[in-house]
Amino acid sequence: MKLKITQNQLKNITKISLIICVIGIIVQLFPSENKFKYQFEVGKPWSYELITALFDFPIYKSETEISNERAVMLKSYTPFYRIDINIENQQIDKLTNEYAKSTGNKPLFKKYIIDKFKAIYNKGIISSVDYRQLIDNKTSEIKIILPNRVTQNRNVVDLYTPKTAYEELLKGAPESLKSYDLNLFLVENIKYDSITSEITKNDLLKNLSLTLGMVQTGERIIDRGEIVTTDLFKVLNSIKIEYEKRNVSIQQSTLVIIGEIIIISGLIFLFFLYLNLFRPRIYDNFGHLLFISLLILIVVSMAALTIRHTTLNYFMVPYALLPIIIRVFFDSRTALFAHIITVLIISFMVDNASQFVLIQIMIGMVAVSSLKDMTQRSQLAQTALYTFLSYTIIYIAFEFISEGEIQRVHLQPVIYFGISSAFLLLAYLLIYIFEKIFNLISAITLVELTNVNSDLMMTFAEKAPGTFQHTLQVSNLATEAAKKIGANSLLVRTGALYHDIGKMKHPEFFTENQIGGLNPLSDMSFEEAAKVIIGHVNDGVEIAKKNHLPEQIINFITTHHGFSKTKYFYNSFINANPDIKPNDSAYTYPGPLPNSKETAILMMADAVEARSRSLGVYTEESINNAVEQMIDSQITDGQFKDAPISFRDVETVKTVFKEKIKNIYHTRIVYPELKKN
């Protein structure tokens, strides 16, 4: 038995898979370590909730205190050096041999030289580097380890370096003795004993305590509004150290991952539930779901990247890009809802989450409100400016609340806000890229397409001038109706301009392009004539694709007649052949039916505008009747059953059409002619 999966089931499986992928990727992006998510400074008020000790922990001394105590303890520390007595004898013997060679073994100054060498070596010669280090460390005394392991203290000032030893040797020496290179025999005989010195130092520092006391579990630490004193700072810093130590062992435990999955799953589920309940057109389109999910992942990824790299700041991320781009392609509510969900997810990664959430939600509101319809490049620059100003004002307000003094306000984050706002200018490029990848359409593209001076529109006006004028009137009617019922007026205006471009192929077959003379359709059978008229839909699609028009605009071309009939030829056939059943399919447009408010409005506007041209008399009654009859017949035929348009919307559209057509065909006064005398 084969398992059959319906198309709807396949769509649901695909959506569920997308949700699982989004959740999985975000969980992987979460920082692997759990940080202490509170910021605090001495003298600042605590801006978070009440903190109590969740476990016992010691109060650690500050680095300054530890350094000071270490320095005090090390004042009694004396470094150890070893003296090599063999060097003295070796150098004296070497000197004696050299002296004997040069003087012929004469006893000139020999006793003086040897006595001086013994006196100098007895005090000790230390390297210049070690001597300078002892002086810099203000060490006045060292311990000398003698060969018998006995130690003796020796003042540093009594020690010689090779240079001072040579100077001491030459003091009071005869001039003739100074010509000898006696400095070659003055070698260091005292050297630093690092092993003994370090052991002694470590034994001394064992008594250094790193803590001041203990905090017991459940003990109150600090509450919102309290000033962080020096003592409280030590306690908070201690709990931070212990918290991060403890979390090293559980940073990727099963419970942590489960908690992250639950939170992220809940937020993502709420967003998809919102789309399902309130934006079914987006929810039913997998491409749209994929696009919005990708945007959320991009913003979360950028935030995670900055958090992991301490040289960056998470306020540099252009969070407002998400609501701006979604607003351009969809609507304000969806943009703001997606932004809030994303900000809530990121808040679990950052410190001071409450401040972050409040700032970013307000920034999202500013971005969406300042970009009602992005029809010009300058609007994006204005939005970036408004975002930066809002960031700065809101942040400074938070600082005023937490600091209470202007002097204590930190302005470093303002630079990060400037970087974040500058990145918003990339939205224009991203919008273009996303349009091409996900087959979306933005207000900017729609504005460009409504340019009647474009090559396609100019060709349209030249080849089919009557049809072109018809599309302009339809566009005006549809735009006004769309504004009244809250539809996308720019989209319906653009779709109206292109809905009849297929008539360019054979303009002579359509009455609005005929100026008197014989109608070519008169020489054809009713079916052939109907086929020619119906063909302008497929011709329009062909021309639209050739000129790379978006699918959303092509949708207006295919749906503006729905499954209606070419009633002129259909009724004419029945009247001429009452005993023959007509081939309904030969007289019926291929459809599909209008599937949105915008395409439904266009169908009504197109039919009403064409009907208004055939009125013999333009009175209020005739116009009202024409509009009512035309639209009611479309409703009766079921042309709007796939469109999300209500009866109230239809009545509003009728009212708009009636008023507009009355204005077009209003009665004018007759100017009197001059009477001839």
Question: Which pLDDT score is estimated for 353?
Answer: 85
**Same domain for 156 and 120?**
yes
**Same domain for 608 and 557?**
yes
d(CA 549, CA 540): 11
**Same domain for 428 and 563?**
no
**Same domain for 433 and 453?**
no
- Nearest CA to 613 among 630, 600, 597, 634? 630
Tell which of 385, 409, 438 closes a domain: 438
DSSP 255-309: HHHHHHHHHHHHHHHHHHHHHHHH-HHHHT-HHHHHHHHHHHHHHHHHHHHHHHS
Question: Which pLDDT score is estimated for 602?
Answer: 97
- Domain annotation covers residue 66: no
**Same domain for 468 and 358?**
no
Backbone region of residue 676 per phi and psi (left: phi > 0; alpha: psi in -120 to 50; beta: other values):
beta
Does residue 298 carry a pLDDT above 60? Answer: yes
Tell which of 182, 205, 228 closes a domain: 205
Q: How many domains does the chain have?
A: 3
Least confident interval from 294-298, 512-516, 551-555? 512-516
Does residue 312 carry a pLDDT above 80? Answer: yes
Q: What is the mean pLDDT of residues 292-307?
A: 95
Domain carrying residue 535? 448-664
Question: Which pLDDT score is estimated for 241?
Answer: 82
Question: Which pLDDT score is estimated for 49?
Answer: 75
Least confident interval from 19-28, 405-414, 575-584, 619-628? 405-414
Q: What is the mean pLDDT of residues 386-397?
A: 94
Question: Which pLDDT score is estimated for 386?
Answer: 94
Question: Which pLDDT score is estimated for 479?
Answer: 95
Does residue 433 carry a pLDDT above 70? Answer: yes
Least confident interval from 223-227, 279-283, 602-606? 223-227
Q: What is the mean pLDDT of residues 170-180?
A: 69
Tell which of 205, 239, 271 closes a domain: 205
pLDDT bin (cut points 50, 70, 90) of residue 240 is confident
Q: Please report which residue ranges of 404-449 form alpha helices under DSSP H.
A: 412-423, 427-438, 443-449
Does residue 233 carry a pLDDT above 90? Answer: no
Question: Which pLDDT score is estimated for 494?
Answer: 96
Does residue 373 carry a pLDDT above 70? Answer: no
Listing from the earlier edge strand, what are the strands of the sheet with 151-155?
A: 151-155, 141-145, 80-83, 190-192
Q: What is the mean pLDDT of residues 233-244?
A: 83
d(CA 88, CA 357): 77
d(CA 262, CA 254): 12
pLDDT bin (cut points 50, 70, 90) of residue 102 is low
**Same domain for 383 and 363?**
yes
**Same domain for 648 and 503?**
yes
Contact 673, 498 (CB under 8 A): no
Residue 395 token pair: 């942040």
d(CA 342, CA 345): 5
- Domain annotation covers residue 193: yes
CA angle 379, 385, 388 (to 5 degrees): 140
- Domain annotation covers residue 52: no
Question: Which pLDDT score is estimated for 16?
Answer: 94
- Domain annotation covers residue 674: no
Question: Which pLDDT score is estimated for 40?
Answer: 78
3-state secondary structure of 554: helix
d(CA 240, CA 35): 8
pLDDT bin (cut points 50, 70, 90) of residue 290 is very high
Question: Which pLDDT score is estimated for 250?
Answer: 47
- Domain annotation covers residue 3: no
pLDDT digit string, tens, across residues 111-162: 777 888 888 888 899 999 999 999 888 888 999 988 888 888 999 999 999 8
**Same domain for 626 and 495?**
yes
**Same domain for 498 and 643?**
yes
Question: Which pLDDT score is estimated for 417?
Answer: 95
- Nearest CA to 292 among 278, 308, 272? 272
**Same domain for 532 and 405?**
no
**Same domain for 320 and 367?**
yes
pLDDT bin (cut points 50, 70, 90) of residue 560 is very high
Question: Which pLDDT score is estimated for 87?
Answer: 87
pLDDT digit string, tens, across residues 22-50: 999 999 998 766 666 677 778 777 877 78
pLDDT digit string, tens, across residues 50-76: 888 878 888 888 888 888 888 888 888
- What percentage of the chain reaches a pLDDT higher than 70? 91
Does residue 568 carry a pLDDT above 80? Answer: yes
Does residue 377 carry a pLDDT above 70? Answer: no
Could you tell me where the beta strands, DSSP code E, fall in 172-215? Answer: 190-192, 211-215
Least confident interval from 106-110, 244-248, 463-467? 106-110
Contact 423, 299 (CB under 8 A): no
Question: Which pLDDT score is estimated for 677?
Answer: 53
Residue 355: in which H helix or E strand, if any? helix 353-369
Q: What is the mean pLDDT of residues 485-506?
A: 94
Contact 41, 396 (CB under 8 A): no
pLDDT bin (cut points 50, 70, 90) of residue 108 is low
Number of Cα atoms under 13 Å in the Cβ half of residue 532: 20
- Domain annotation covers residue 224: no
In this structure, the chain runs to a length of 677
Taking the whole predicted model, whether its pTM rises above 0.85 is answered as no
pLDDT digit string, tens, across residues 639-649: 999 999 999 99
- Domain annotation covers residue 535: yes
pLDDT bin (cut points 50, 70, 90) of residue 251 is very low
Residue type, 494: T
Query: If you average pLDDT over every residue of the chain, what do you get?
Result: 87
**Residue 615: CATH number of its domain:** 1.10.3210
- Nearest CA to 80 among 178, 170, 204? 204
Contact 226, 45 (CB under 8 A): yes
Does residue 105 carry a pLDDT above 60? Answer: no
**Same domain for 425 and 542?**
no
Q: What is the mean pLDDT of residues 619-624?
A: 89
Cis peptide preceding 592, ω within 30 of 0: yes
Burial (CB count <10 Å: 0-12, 13-18, 19+), residue 63: exposed
Question: Which pLDDT score is estimated for 151?
Answer: 87
- Domain annotation covers residue 63: no
Q: What is the mean pLDDT of residues 400-412?
A: 73
- DSSP one-letter code for 615: -
